[in-house]
A and B are shown apart, each in its own frame.
Chain A
Amino acid sequence: MTSRELFVAFSTIVTKEIRRFTRIWGQTLLPPAITMTLYFIIFGNLIGSRIGEMGGFNYMEYIVPGLIMMSVITNSYGNVVSSFYSTKFQRNIEELLVSPIPYWVILSGYVLGGVSRGLAVGFIVTMLSLFFTDLQIHNIGITVSIVFLTAVLFALGGFINAVFANSFDDISIVPTFILTPLTYLGGVFYSISLLPDFWQGVSMLNPILYMVNTFRYGILGVSDINILFAYGMILLFIVVLFSVSLHLLKSGKGIRS
């Protein structure tokens, strides 16, 4: 395919993905908006006012970056896992497999679709947070780049989950039993400096901690971890997951007999 044809094919997949999650906005965009508003009210306003400061900021200011990042992570992951699995389940993945689109374009299209939903939800949650606090962005470059890279990483994770999934139950196992606990324990609601040394060490093994803290650094200018190390780790994970996803697509795992 020529580069122009590749671009048309890529934008077709991305457009289809965006059309899908905007068509069912009541299932994709509205629930995180409601959930995060409840977090802001309960944890930020009602409980947060009794907690006092954390990392030099009031509790509401402290948790807003974490909650935005949590929305981005779950939605970029959720979009690709549900969309690609449905495509497999309905067999319309065959429309893509018979076409001349290279596998890396198929993968990139689905990933950008997931990133789009992650960023859309992240934007909505950010707008809602403005009703509860003033957001002063410390470093726009870090804020935007880390949220984008995190969305890419979890979109790739969602893709791999979808490839291995054999039922709709399988697409909720990872988000429920792995993603949510890691996110909650990844410094969304607290600074790991509050933990005993041992648990601080354990927390440092949680990759989501690095993403949440880097994003928090972009907004508030405070972080529990080394920002450069976080970027390096995220980029490494992206390269590894992209390569694994591409290999799975090429080998036809779960999509070709």
Chain B
Amino acid sequence: MTTALSINNLRKVYDNGFEALKGISLQVEEGDFFALLGPNGAGKSTTLGIVSSLVNKTEGSVSVFGHDMERELSKAKKCLGVVPQEFNFNMFEKVIDIIVTQAGYYGIPLNEARERAEFYLRKLGLWEKRNERARMLSGGMKRRLMIARALIHNPRLLILDEPTAGVDIELRRSMWEFLQEINAAGTTIILTTHYLEEAESLCRNIAIIDHGTIVQDTSMRELLLQLNTETFILDVNPPLQSKPRLNGYTCELLDDHTLEVEVEREQGLNAIFQALETQGIQVSSMRNKANRLEELFVSLVDKNLAQEKA
């Protein structure tokens, strides 16, 4: 399998002396849907900035589909599409002009650029807005405009830096579907996001970066297996006056209809239902207290912080 992105010993020290990346290495395979997660200031955007040629690296190497970014920069850039975190188009330009101009930068002739622009603008629900100035678009539309712009040269690797920040849930889900569609068609995708449910539902592999180092680099499945304890919220009937007896489980009564139960991985859920049923308690619904990935993410970041302090 071809490696879409290869990062080796990448280090970045800013002019003020801040070391944003401390020699990270990362491989993303072709066709992957890869999540790069981390708290604010962890080094995600710096990493993607270096890959996108927007940030100068201090040390290390980056190659995109085998094209080294120092020796074959132009070829590497042709393989890349970038959707940055901040809006970075000319707000006074028309939507169609932004897309067609970007195509021109990749050497795509005008007629072909217009055809591709129509395809992606229709696909992302922006065709009706093609003659509007970009500043007149809503936040969600601006995000979709940046995705259309990044795809205009049909990149093999698409980098999305928090593409759904500030986007409502309906639009977010339609963007997920679109991204899954282009990933299924062969585009490798690297995503950073603060919505961990987004990463969990879209991505197959994941790296977690914190304080400029990679603290996890594995498959989503492997990572979730590391989760030893899950907390569930149970809605119960009839109303409870006190905590029910659940031997071996830690539970807490949040209110007379709501029970919080911590479940170890090896324990399973059947025993909880049986114990409650014998006490005449019915479970009407059940949900995770927090997203599973979120629980892991917080524990990994906390662990890394504790190690750094030590």
Residues in chain A within 8 A of chain B (CB atoms): 1-2, 4-6, 8-9, 11-13, 15-16, 87, 90-92, 94-102, 251-252, 256-257
Contacts and interface: CB of A to CB of B under 8 A. Distances in A.
B54 interface: yes
B77 A102 contact: no
A2 B108 CA distance: 11
Nearest to A92: B90
B91 interface: yes
Contacts of A251: 56
B107 A6 contact: yes
Contacts of B139: none
B88 A100 contact: no
Nearest to B159: A98
Contact of A257 (B14, B77, B82, B108): B14
Contact of B54 (A13, A100, A101, A256): A256
Interface residues of B, number: 31
Contact of B84 (A9, A90, A94): A94
Contacts of A12: 101, 104-105
Nearest to B149: A95
The interface residues of chain A, by DSSP majority, are classed as helix
Contacts of A87: 90
Contacts of B82: 94, 98
Given A90-B91, A257-B49, A98 B101 contact: no
A15 to B, nearest CB: 8
Contacts of A11: 104
Nearest to B89: A92
A102 B74 contact: yes
Contact of A101 (B55, B80, B89, B105): B105
A183 B136 CA distance: 42
Given A8-B108, A90-B91, A256-B56, A100 B78 contact: yes
A99 B102 contact: yes
Contact of A100 (B74, B90, B109): B74
Given A90-B88, A90-B90, A92-B90, A98 B104 contact: no
Contacts of A16: 101
A135 to B, nearest CB: 38
Contacts of A97: 52-54
A56 to B, nearest CB: 50
A2 B84 CA distance: 27
Given A98-B54, A101-B105, A257-B54, 13 more contacts: A1-B74, A8-B104, A12-B101, A13-B104, A92-B89, A94-B88, A95-B101, A95-B149, A98-B80, A100-B74, A256-B55, A257-B49, A257-B55
Nearest to A19: B97
Interface of B: 14-15, 49, 52-56, 73-75, 77-78, 80, 82, 84, 86, 88-91, 101-102, 104-110, 149
Contacts of B52: 94, 97-98
A2 B106 CA distance: 10
A94 B102 CA distance: 11
Contacts of B106: 5, 9, 99-100
A13 B105 CA distance: 8
B88 A95 contact: yes
Nearest to B73: A100
B107 A9 contact: yes
Contacts of B74: 1, 100, 102
A95 B55 CA distance: 14
A92 B86 CA distance: 10
A16 B105 CA distance: 11
B95 to A, nearest CB: 14
Nearest to A16: B101
A256 B56 CA distance: 7
B88 A9 contact: no
B75 A100 contact: yes
27 contacts: A1-B107, A5-B106, A8-B107, A9-B107, A11-B104, A12-B104, A13-B104, A13-B105, A16-B101, A87-B90, A90-B89, A91-B86, A91-B88, A92-B88, A94-B54, A95-B89, A95-B101, A95-B102, A95-B149, A97-B52, A97-B53, A98-B80, A99-B77, A100-B74, A100-B78, A252-B56, A256-B55
Nearest to B49: A257
Nearest to A87: B90
A255 B297 CA distance: 34
A6 B86 CA distance: 28
A101 B75 CA distance: 10
Nearest to B84: A94
B66 to A, nearest CB: 16
A251 B105 CA distance: 20
A98 B91 contact: no
A242 to B, nearest CB: 20
